[in-house]
Structure 1
Amino acid sequence: MKILEANAGALTNFEVLDFLRAKGASKDPTRVIAKVEQSEYKVYDYLVDTGASDQTRESINEFLTCIKRHDLAKAEVLNILNTRPASEVEIFPIIESCEGRFPDEEVTEIVELVTKTLPPPPDMKQEEITKSDEETATLKNEKEEISEDPMDTK
């Protein structure tokens, strides 16, 4: 890997992790084989436990292609890629003046785009996603039952 232009822009966590892997970083317990500095191993150890470890160039490229129609700054797109927000609440701190710039439907669209194109974070296993979906459906059903007829005394 060769640096073509210094300070050309910010890197995603995936790109940093990919660079460290290319340099030889791994979960090797001895860590004496690769030419990786101790500080780089600390970065590697952190990034391998984040969503960056499951991302691929294809998923990132698909996300970048789809996100272009939303008027987001490069830094906002980078933060979305690195943090992978799974709800509207997590988007608001990332996007500057989010309420004023985007209607609620567009914010929901961005979150759906993130969950559709980027893999889930490693700490959110499929069972947890399914369980969360089931709990949401149960709460929604209970709310609908309560709001149907509050005076009904079955």
Structure 2
Amino acid sequence: MKIIKSSAGALTNFEVLDLLRSRGAGKDPTRVIASVAPSEFKVFDYLEQTAACNQTRDTINKLVDECKKYDLAKAEVLNIANIRPSSAVEVYMMIEECDTRIEDRIDELVETILQVLPPNPSQAESMEVN
């Protein structure tokens, strides 16, 4: 992987996964066709098991737009996109001074996250079983 512009900003897990896919990373068992380093395949394999595998640029952009009304820092939105919290407790741990900044709107934020971001693969499987 070549760094084109250093300190251009943090990337979401989806953006890293999208980059690896564009470079040829995939589920091909031989993995000899792609020009991707073994370490990049390990990152790809990990990210394929996270919420990033079901996300799109549109969902990330929509999340960023929806989070503007909560006045969240870029790092907080990045954490939300990467982790996809599904409860108020998880969101509370990601937002600095959450009790004073968001107060009673935390449930609204959780509902927004659940509506905008697709579930993690493990969450999707558990919903199908129930």
TM over 0.5: yes
In structure 2, relative to structure 1, the CA distance for the partners of 1:93 and 1:99 (3 Å cut) is same
The equivalent residue for 2:27 is 27
Aligned pair count reads: 129
TM-score normalised over the length of structure 1: 0.78
Q: CA deviation digits over 1:65-119, x for unaligned, max 9?
A: 1111111111000000000000101111110111122212x11111111001110
1:91 is aligned with what amino acid? V
Larger RCO, structures 1/2 (Cα 8 Å, 6+ apart): 2
Alpha-carbon separation, structure 2, partners of 1:129 and 1:46: 22
Alpha-carbon separation, structure 2, partners of 1:85 and 1:91: 6
Higher helix share: 2
Q: Which one is further off, 72-81 or 61-70?
A: 61-70
Alpha-carbon separation, structure 2, partners of 1:4 and 1:62: 27
Please, which runs of 5 or more residues in structure 1 have no aligned partner?
Answer: 132-154
1:110 is aligned with what amino acid? L
1:19 is aligned with what amino acid? L
TM-score normalised over the length of structure 2: 0.92
Q: CA deviation digits over 1:99-150, x for unaligned, max 9?
A: 122212x11111111001110111112652783xxxxxxxxxxxxxxxxxxx
1:42-121 alignment runs, 5 A limit: 42-104=42-104, 106-121=105-120
The percent of aligned pairs where both chains have the same amino acid is 53
Moved over 6 A (4+): none
Larger Rg: 1
Tell me how large the CA RMSD over aligned residues is: 1.8
Question: Which secondary structure does the structure 2 equivalent of 1:34 belong to?
Answer: coil
Please, which runs of 5 or more residues in structure 2 have no aligned partner?
Answer: none
